[in-house]
Structure 1
Amino acid sequence: MSIATRGALLALLAPPLAFATPIDSSADAPVSVVTVSGSRGDGYNPQSAGSATKTDAPLRDIPQTVNVIPQQLLRDQAVASMEDAMASVPGVGLSHGDGQRDQVTLRGFSAIADQFVDGLRDDALYFRDLSNIERIEVLKGPAAVLYGRGSSGGLINRITKKPGANRRELAAKVGSDNRRRGELDLAATDGSMAFRVTGAVERADSYRDQQFLKRDAIAPSLQFQLGEATTLLLQAEHLSDRRVTDFGIPSYRGRPVDVPAGAYYGAANARDVDYSHAEVTALGFTLEHRFNDSVKLRNAFRHYDYTLARYNTLVGSVNETALTAALNRTNLRREEDGWFNQTELTQVATVAGMTHQLLYGIEVGKQHKDQVTRSQNGIATVALFAPVLPVLPKYLAVAPSTDNLGIMKTASAYVQDLVSLAPRWKALAGVRYDRFDQQTRERRAGQPNLGRVDVAWSPRAGLVWQPSSTQSYYASVSKSFQPSAENFALAANNAQIEPEETTNKEVGGKFDFLGGALSATASLFRLERTNIKSLDPVTNRLIPIGEQRTDGLEVTLTGQLPRGWQVVAGYSFLDATITSSPALDNSDNVVKRVPVQGKRATLTPRHGGNVWLAKTFGSGLRVGAGVNAFSARFANPGNTVTLPGFATVNAMAAYRLGAVDLQLNVRNLLDRDYLVSGHGSAPNLNMPGAPRSASVTARYQF
């Protein structure tokens, strides 16, 4: 972390010292700031989400699927990672992300670069901490009209905790595999100023042999009331995450090998030579000014620095005759920095008797992505079913296979209108213009510098019919674009290719029951991604031929049932198919040159479902339990290796004793063996799920 960045973090942390005197709760009222939520009374059924429109609109008015993971659910389930959180979202496929990053598929399409925080792009490749997260919003389908490139199947937007009401909370967690975690959440107000600081320290081993976790996170924020109508929010965060880079286990005869869940295929000295260490520091501000009750201006800025040192050993190939696995090794260094700035004007206007919620926006940004990769195949060979791990060197003395700097510049303008056409009819329409400048500066001798500029229009349109206050039906169409350098630097085999395009056509309904305490949604959709970059088996060049289509159904039920029970439930059916492609998959251990056309998208279960029920009793006792289930998924594009379907049962029991909440969580209660995720492009990188584990959390509010 640079001296300037450390200084900025210290500056944001300094105000809490000024507030160290006892807090008078009667001083809360004068400050007009964001109200903090997250108590157990908030429930599972949020009525609005800003990600879908960036305006104040209830979910029932939005002609698109939006899944919200609220703070109470995160706490009840003791969610420890983005993977844990996303398991409660229909239409998700889980990926281990090379053992170094959060990664999922949404509706059959990779969402590797579709991570956002408070509406600003956060596409660095790391495991995020949730200590500073109020809720997670998942917007399904293309969303380039508001967010730019990417988002074929959707995007994930983390909403951070903001300053507001006075709050002092400490938490401690201990659990299986020597897990120890401490958290803090401190907030106070003082006249026209409010602060909040959240943080976490975590240390753990794992059910996976060799694995460990060393994580530290801190996120201070300050909010100033600069006048009756103007607020300024300053935010900072720093995360350090170090763990073994774990790619999982290989396959044999079309299935992952039958070995204990902890079996590791890498170096015997993995903690020293097979680890990833990510550091992320971000600074930003949000300035809002309300001109009147109808017009508001918002400017948001975020700058980030990201470094990654990744060393890993993985199974490169399997000899099913000799029953051996060949190990490959990689050294990877990434250094990134970037910034984004959004200026948005929202306006409520009445024209011809119709109410319009208008959004006008401009976004600019720039990212530098520096990477150096060294790889060596066949560095060792181990037995397939009982590997004796080799001691390996940390560094590879080979020439780099990648050594370049990627430069990405974004300039965009967008407009959107949510209009009430009549008492029962609403329409949402918008369009965005993007200019995306991509450059790659090569450092290897003889390699050319590359560059291209893509210009794209991303439209969105939807119609909503609300025959009553409890029913809402909609139809919508939206598009996104995926340029060659969407997240990684341009390469010689993709620099000439036009952006891929994704179109989503969706119809659905949203329903309220029990006076709005319980809500249900249902959607039918077709997602088509065209101009997919595919490898021509004759010329060995990537060419703009190929199409993937997902036909799907998603349903959800969230909120409060009779007798005080709370529920979160969902189901998805995804028919995700590569409908056109000349590519041939050579990744299988035995079968080669398997046509990809007609195969299912990898890591995408045809059926997925979840249900979670919880209830608070008058004695201060709270209990909950639920099931997450996924049908079989394919590990590789040729669909020759299958990850079997699975279901896990989780449970919790909590008791409130004065200012202290005690909570027990048990995951995989029935201790099932299962494969939780894979890589998506290879058959020999499959991650076993965790056996039964338990954790105890104590939260103290003072």
Structure 2
Amino acid sequence: MKAGLSLVACVLVAGGLGAAQDYSVVLPTVDVEGISEQDFTKGYVAPSNVEVNKNGLSIKETPQSIEAVDVQKNRNYGTNDLSSILEGNSGVDASYDTRGDGIKIRGFSVDGGDIYRDGVRDSGQIRRSTANIERVEILKGPASILYGRSQGGGVINLVSKKANFSPLYKLSARAGSWDRYGGMVDVNHVISDTFAVRLTGDYEQGKSWRDGVKYRNKMISPSFVVTNQDGTVSFEAQYTYDDAWRVPDRNPEKSVYDAMGISYNKGFAHNGDFVKDTLHFLRTELNAELVHDINLKWIAGYRKASQDFDNFFAGTYDVNTRMLTQNYAAQQTDNTTLSSTVLLNREFEGERVGHKVSFGYDYSIEKREPRLKYQRGFTASIDPFASSSSWNSARYDRVSTHNKHKAITHGVFIDDLITFDERYHLLIGGRYDWYEFKSTDINQNSRSYKDGAFSPRIGVLYDITPEHTLYASYSKSFAPYGGNGWVGVSTTTNDIQNLAKKQTNEQYEVGLKSEWANKRFMSTVAVYEIRHKNNRYNPDSNDPYLWAQRDEKSRGIELNLLGELAKGVYMRSSVGYMSAKTSGDEVYGYRNGLELENTTHWQGNVFLRYAYNDLWYLEGGVTAYSKRYHYVYNDAAKSAKGAHLPGFVRVDMSAGYKFSKHASMTLAVNNLFDKEYWRSSSRPGDRRSFMSTFVYEF
């Protein structure tokens, strides 16, 4: 705390000194808000910089693949959850989990601890609303040098709509299939040259094409930004409240539906089933130029995410009794994060060598407290052919698990991009983390775990021409206590020394980043291999207390293209091939060589938009996945039966029209040809739906 107060004092003094000099700092919100949400080219113009790069390097200067996905383009189709927005991006497997986001990057889950909101870790079991999100940034591959612990597949950063110095006064209303309707207010008011405030609010409710499934979402987010006269010091603050309630779509698997011969439209939610996610997020950011060419950024965040669910789920079918037996669970989980990040960036040029140096220090306290009502074998048998109003099954009302987990982490890193003769670049850096976990269970059994980890990164870049940059990199990350991303240590596992080994993740990547036609469109092609060692995993989804260890490997190739191909013709495409498999499992050896669960070989989307003028646009696109891998295991027989989900190709279309400079409207059709497909083993994809949105700016 003393160090933090001293730092504030230094920044304020330095800011005062800087005010007398001709320096400037580019506010982080400017790049985000550079294009109006109603601009018909939005989502098809690649940013040169992204906030997920904490070291301030541009996309082209980073020897790893980076994607930035515009949210509004996806919300026009009626999608609000993060997994739907990332569907079809190269290397991304976005399935469905009603309790979380179900996202994997390059074969490995990011749900536990690799999702961030404006640079603050957005950890915990929760489905993330995007009602106040401007864009989603993906840094692919291990990123421990910037963020500390990581599962190694990649890092996702959600960039919020924040106060800035571009006035905006907008109202919008939307309505669509299945009684969906909602509205948003977004006001960004510039009070003076140095002070601006913003308020965004959103409400939506609706139903699903699946019987009994419905939802209601609420969000409000005020923010402000203040600067000194010459812009050398800026301070911004934002608070976001999200409330998402739903009757969950947590139904039996496809094979069970097929055995019953029941339409996929039928849902199996019981009366009283629900999931409720609540988020409180407070973030501040201080930017200052201390002395010439030395910039400081200090980000402080407080986040509390809570999930409360109580529902029946899944199920097995008995063909003789014609009864469906479903599982039951209820849980309340609180996830709290208090974090502080200090970054110092300096750029300087020598006679023949240039440097972009970044130094950072992170400190965080994370707490996770799950309270679970669960008993193995507690089930409910229902008549699946009857109306849901007849299902009055008893619920388990005793807390069986009440754990308290706490993690304290310190991390320090340094990164340097060295430029030789303007064409050759070497990025080299390293980070060291100190961390401590402590867990206490319902019986007051307690266990602590301390360790540290060094995470290096090295990359070389060669500018073949000013438009084309070839790169190669090696990066490493770690995940404490065998991975999984969750904060906590087992209080019951006897083999603590073996299962407590930290997971390490190494990536080798080679790629080419290019700009074409006078920077009208850009492309990235990347080839990679990621090696996971000592991954701690749960081999039996019906036994949450069983753990084993194995190694994993993924390798693939990705191609991304974004921009204006011809006059008025814009393209956004992302296509990838990946193979992710298991190895080194000594206990469940028969699983070695199998594809990782819920991964696919091919992922991709291609969208074309014609917007010759600013009056109207027409857009069409395809999202496609190959076969999604899923297995049914028989440990007694040491066999794994494939229950893979077939691949799919989905077509979406939208159109927009501006009635005036103030009013516009879009109409979008999701799943134009009503393709029947499955997003996960227990959730079919949405059937054809419509969404219309009316926007008025004044």
Pairwise same-fold verdict (TM > 0.5): yes
Q: For the Cα contact (< 8 Å) 1:382–1:388, is it kept in 2?
A: no
The residue matched to 1:57 in structure 2 has which SS?
coil
- Over 3 Å counting, the alpha-carbon distance change for 1:384 and 1:107 in structure 2 is farther
State how far apart, in whole Å, the 2-side matches of 1:419 and 1:123 are. Answer: 34
Deviations 1:404-435 (A, max 9, x none): 11111111111111121232111212211111
Residue identity opposite 1:580 in structure 2: G
What corresponds to 2:449 in structure 1?
Answer: 452
Letter paired with 1:651 = M
Query: What letter is aligned with 1:613?
Result: L
Aligned to 2:460: 463
Could you say what secondary structure the match of 2:339 adopts?
strand
Residue in 1 aligned with 2:608? 613
Identity %: 24
Deviation at 1:157, TM superposition (A): 0.3
Deviates more, 1:49-58 or 1:123-132: 49-58
Q: In structure 2, what is the Cα distance between the partners aligned to 1:619 and 1:575? A: 42
Partner of 1:16: none
Give the Cα separation in 1 of the matches to 2:560 and 2:117.
Answer: 24
- The answer to whether the 8 A contact 1:31-1:225 is kept is no
**1:385: Cα distance to partner?**
7.6
1:479-532 per-residue CA deviation (whole Å, 9 max, x = no partner) reads: 111113731432233754111111111111111111111111111111110112
Q: Tell me how far 1:315 sits from its aligned partner.
A: 2.2
Alpha-carbon distance, 1:132 to partner: 1.8
**Which residue of 542, 549, 552 corresponds with 2:556?**
552
Matching of residue 482 in structure 1 with residue 479 in structure 2: yes
Q: Deviations over 1:85-110 (max 9, x none)?
A: 1014211112322x122230111111
* Helix, strand or coil at the partner of 2:567: helix
Q: Shift in Å at residue 117 of structure 1?
A: 1.0
Runs of 5+ unmatched residues, structure 2:
1-23, 633-639
Aligned-partner Cα distance in 1 for 2:585–2:25: 62
Q: Is the 8 A contact 2:669 2:690 kept in 1?
A: yes
Following the alignment from structure 1 to structure 2, what is the Cα–Cα distance between the partners of residues 701 and 472? 41
Residue 217 (structure 1) aligns with: 219
| Distance 1:621-1:379 versus aligned 2 partners, 3 A rule | same
Supply the distance in 2 between the matched residues of 1:30 and 1:293 (Cα, whole angstroms): 11
Partner residue of 1:247 out of 247, 250, 261: 250
Name the TM-score, length of structure 1 as normaliser. Answer: 0.87
Q: Is the 8 A contact 1:451 1:495 kept in 2?
A: no
- The 2-side partners of 1:335 and 1:279 are apart by 9
Structure 2 residue aligned with 1:700: 696
Asked if the contact 2:567/2:612 (under 8 Å) is kept, the reply is no
CA distance 1:34–1:315, shift in 2 (3 Å): closer
> What one-letter code is carried by the residue in structure 2 that aligns with 1:662?
M
The alpha-carbon distance between structure 1 residues 536 and 95, as it changes in their structure 2 partners (threshold 3 A), is: closer
> What amino acid is the match of 1:532?
N
1:211-242 CA-partner distances (Å, limit 9, x unpaired) = 11111101110111145311110110101110
Q: Which residue matches 2:68? A: 68
**Residues 324, 607 of structure 1: CA spacing in aligned structure 2 closer, same or farther, 3 A cutoff?**
farther
Q: 1:639 to 1:490 in 2, by over 3 A?
A: farther
Which stretch has the larger CA shift, 609-618 or 485-494? 485-494
Q: Given residue 696 of structure 2, which amino acid in structure 1 is its aligned partner? A: Y
What SS does the corresponding residue of 1:60 show, helix, strand or coil? coil
Q: Quick one: which amino acid aligns to residue 287 of structure 1?
A: L
Q: How does 1:297-376 map to 2 (within 5 A)?
A: 297-319=296-318, 324-351=323-350, 353-376=352-375
Give the superposition deviation at 1:72.
Answer: 5.8
Distance 2:248 2:50 in 1: 35
Q: Secondary structure at the match of 1:252?
A: helix
Q: Tell me if the contact between 2:437 and 2:489 (Cα under 8 Å) persists in the aligned partners.
A: yes
**Partner letter of residue 367 of structure 1?**
E
User: Root-mean-square deviation (CA), in Å?
Assistant: 2.7
Q: Is the 8 A contact 2:204 2:217 kept in 1?
A: yes
State the Cα distance separating 1:336 from its structure 2 match. 2.7
Q: How far 1:65 sits from its partner (Å)?
A: 0.5
Question: Residue 130 of structure 2 corresponds to which residue in structure 1?
Answer: 130
1:308-366 Cα distance to aligned partner (Å, 9 max, x none): 21112112545467664321111101123221100110111234631111110001010
Name 2:594's counterpart in structure 1.
Answer: 599
* CA drift at 1:374: 1.0
Matched, 1:262 2:265: yes
1:633 and 2:628 aligned: yes
Q: CA deviation at 1:63?
A: 0.6
Q: Distance in 1 between matches of 2:479 and 2:563?
A: 36
Distance 1:169 1:257, change over 3 A: farther
Give the alignment partner of residue 586 of structure 2, picking from 579, 582, 601. Answer: 582
Q: TM-score, normalised by structure 2?
A: 0.87
Residues paired across the two proteins, number: 648
Q: Aligned to 2:501, which of 480, 498, 501?
A: 498
Q: Distance in 2 between matches of 1:575 and 1:534?
A: 19
Please tell me whether the aligned partners of residues 249 and 688 of structure 1 are also in contact (alpha carbons under 8 angstroms): no
**Which whole-Å CA distance do the structure 1 matches of 2:450 and 2:246 have between them?**
37
Shift of 1:454: 2.0
* Aligned residue runs from structure 1 range 92-171, under 5 A: 92-97=92-97, 99-113=98-112, 114-164=114-164, 165-171=166-172
TM-aligned CA deviation for residue 561 of structure 1:
0.9
- Aligned 8 A contact 2:252 2:316 in 1: no
Task: Say which SS state the counterpart of residue 551 (structure 1) adopts.
Answer: strand
